[in-house]
């Protein structure tokens, strides 16, 4: 059974407040994998409320939780009834979405041989039982800071420098990852392709500097619409953007697309060469993995592109998902 610390305030994973006293960009998510209630209580008291603490008591639960939620760090007991800690870590290293999650082993075995085995298996640290709360907190905070620094560097590599959206490389990587996850879990996966209407005419009339500013305005308007942690916006190329929406059925994705369309219109970016509108507008095509004829990620993207084509050639400034 998966549990959550009762001492934590209600919030969502998408919040961006600083963890109290810790200086993290957001509240870290920790998974404690431990089958002894006393040790669970000690770890929870040491790490809450600065961290959001989740707890499972079995190895299989831990692997599934990490696949589904990708915590920032795992505190993993070596000895458990169904899978031992080494088997859990091996399973995490085998999955693309979990292999980079830092794992700290927590064990009653204090020999040098055991510590060496833990580190060789891929753990970032080793904590001995009985648990010293101050030591646990210090080591966890050290590895969380390293993890967030790594995430930031990783993000810089995948950002479009001009607009601040994710870039095409990041989208392509995540599309494949989320497609495999959707296949494994039998959950919906949707994409939204976005194209700025009459953008060549905008650049020709207003110049490329204002054209770049218009694209940044689009990103600024669209990002707040995507509120769930797994949803994101990427620059697909030129004036085209794409949203990836895990666990989102077609109807919900179309609703989000319409909100993005409205949000861009509300920016009132002057576009004299956009007939009947007079401001910047966008056309959007939406597709879902469960639609007929979609058997891979490329076909999902191709279906969204077909719907975008229909939107562009049936009047623009609209969403098409059928």
**What residues act catalytically?**
239
Report the candidate in 109, 103, 117 with the shortest Cα–Cα distance to residue 59. Answer: 103
Phi, psi of 74 (to 5 degrees): -120, 130
**Tokens in use for 292?**
């007929």
All residues at 6 or more sequence positions from 154 whose CB lies less than 8 Å from its CB, including other chains: none
DSSP structural state of residue 225: G
CA dihedral 290, 70, 10, 14 (to 10 degrees): -70
Instruction: Specify whether the CB–CB gap between 181 and 97 falls below 8 A.
Output: yes
> Scanning the structure block, which residue is given the tokens 């009047």?
315
Alpha carbon 257 to its chain's center: 19
Enumerate the H helices of 52-198 as residue ranges.
59-69, 85-94, 112-120, 133-157, 168-185
């Amino acid at each position: 059974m998966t549990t959550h610390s009762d001492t934590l305030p209600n919030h969502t994973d998408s919040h961006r407040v600083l963890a109290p006293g810790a200086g993290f960009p957001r509240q870290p998510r920790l998974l404690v994998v431990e089958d002894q209630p006393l040790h669970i209580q000690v770890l929870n008291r040491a790490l809450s409320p600065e961290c959001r603490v989740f707890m499972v008591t079995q190895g299989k639960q831990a692997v599934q939780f990490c696949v589904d939620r990708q915590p920032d760090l795992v505190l993993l007991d070596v000895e458990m009834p169904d899978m031992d800690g080494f088997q859990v870590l091996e399973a995490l290293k085998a999955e693309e979405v979990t292999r980079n999650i830092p794992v700290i082993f927590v064990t009653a075995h204090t020999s040098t041989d055991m510590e060496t085995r833990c580190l060789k298996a891929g753990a970032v640290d080793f904590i001995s039982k009985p648990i010293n709360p101050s030591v646990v907190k210090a080591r966890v905070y050290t590895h969380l800071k390293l993890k967030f620094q790594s995430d930031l560097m990783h993000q810089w590599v995948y950002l479009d420098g001009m607009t601040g959206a994710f870039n095409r490389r990041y989208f392509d990587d995540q599309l494949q990852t989320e497609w495999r996850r959707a296949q494994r879990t039998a959950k919906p996966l949707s994409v939204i392709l976005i194209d700025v209407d009459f953008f060549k005419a905008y650049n020709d009339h207003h110049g490329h500097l204002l054209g770049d500013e218009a694209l940044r305005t689009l990103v600024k308007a669209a990002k707040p619409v995507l509120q769930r942690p797994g949803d994101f916006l990427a620059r697909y190329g030129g004036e085209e953007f794409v949203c990836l929406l895990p666990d989102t059925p077609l109807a919900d994705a179309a609703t989000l697309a319409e909100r993005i369309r409205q949000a861009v219109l509300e920016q009132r970016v002057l576009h004299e060469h956009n007939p009947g509108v007079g401001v910047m507008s966008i056309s959007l095509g939406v597709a879902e993995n469960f639609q007929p004829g979609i058997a891979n990620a490329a076909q999902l993207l191709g279906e969204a592109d077909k719907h975008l084509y229909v939107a562009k050639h049936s009047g623009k400034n609209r969403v098409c998902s059928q």
